[in-house]
Structure 1
């Protein structure tokens, strides 16, 4: 983790926090930057919706996303505890016995992960979710790496709790709910595109992101266009990523 890479990561995250930023794309950007900057193998993000329920809104890989969905379905696990307690949770080894969450540990091992660190996304007394870091190897991450990871989670939290929404809780809930609804649209569009391209879901998602960046459109709007059939699929598949952030 070089200082140059670290500085670029925080500049990129801060640069995304404009008035009209896309929360879904921002969460995926955070997950991707965790992988590249912190040198972990996958990252996922859980946010609470307006009903007080946690939802998966960003993940760097389908393996991480499926693990978090499994945890939410069973309503228990390290990431959920991190959110409920507003405190970091570490599982340094999924192979050690006994495990506090044996079903989750079994799923994690099956997905190829050896350890997990869950960090709260909080601002003062308000916790809105959790940032989860997965590694293939076992063992705890170094303390300096965890401090950087928490700082990234804090930046993301501040981005979602911007000044104009901090005093309007309903507006904040609406923004988060929009992000969650957009996530559903994106998953549907990934399925449509994967079938059309005869590819896997990860390749389909990267195609959506390339089109979103090159056409300066929100990811959710591109997903709606794919589902509605208003976007030329040939043009979408042929799109090259011209966004310098992707390099």
Structure 2
């Protein structure tokens, strides 16, 4: 496992708050959350972020193979602390995987892999998306009350950043759709204007011609209009 210099929690919280969503993607944000958590939460050896959409969990970011492997063992079995934390958006601590009885099969696997305690803190990201910040330690009893408080505070900042990222991506997607709709409308209006000039028809009749051609050729109305506009431009070229 890699060791990195510890980071002051307040500095980590400030860094999460300074993130500009226009400058980074969701994957980069998730990786940053995992890396910052590893440096900030006392006792952390490896960290992962579980996202749960509906009933489908996946590890969206991780700092090492141990965290990924122990997450995926939970997904395979259908139970475990990170899954329960993600589902309930609560905090779950495993003081000693060697004596853990709530998830005995997974706990035994964790102990054998070298993870002797863990802490999972729920992340309420969105109405349909929840998650968990999972912190694994190589020593039993690695997370005292101070570490748990820091992890929960960190998870709160991370949840806000992820919720904002989700909202930003949703708005960006909506803006993209609106832009495409505006472009489609513009080319359709151009095509209607060409037909009106060539056929001396009304706007309604021109649209009817385009719609029939779209149906007859099994092509989108925008594509039919775009082809007509392009052909008209070709005819006008010297």
TM range (shorter): 0.5 to 0.7
Q: Which residue of 2 aligns with 1:216?
A: none
Partner of residue 7 from structure 1, selected from 3, 6, 10: 10
Task: Say whether 1:69 aligns with 2:72.
Answer: yes
**Residue 111 and residue 144 in structure 1: after superposition, are their counterparts in 2 closer, same or farther (change >3 A)?**
same
List gaps (5 residues or longer) in structure 2. 175-238
Higher mean Cα deviation, 123-132 or 74-83? 123-132
Contact 2:114 2:138 in 1 (8 A): yes
Q: Which residue of 1 aligns with 2:93?
A: 90
Q: Which residue of 1 aligns with 2:31?
A: 28
Tell me by how many angstroms 1:84 deviates: 1.7
Q: Which residue of 1 aligns with 2:104?
A: 102
SS at match of 1:162: helix
**Residue 3 and residue 81 in structure 1: after superposition, are their counterparts in 2 closer, same or farther (change >3 A)?**
closer
- For residues 1-247 of structure 1, the aligned pairs below 5 Å read 5-39=8-42, 40-49=44-53, 51-96=54-99, 99-122=101-124, 128-139=130-141, 141-162=143-164, 165=167
Number of equivalenced pairs: 169
Quote the RMSD (CA, aligned, Å): 3.1
Tell me by how many angstroms 1:81 deviates: 0.9
Q: Deviations over 1:27-57 (max 9, x none)?
A: 12111112211131111110123x5411101
Q: Deviations over 1:91-138 (max 9, x none)?
A: 1001116x2212211211122111011100026977610011111111
List gaps (5 residues or longer) in structure 1. 173-247
The normalised TM-score by structure 1 is 0.60
Contact 1:90 1:140 in 2 (8 A): no
The normalised TM-score by structure 2 is 0.62
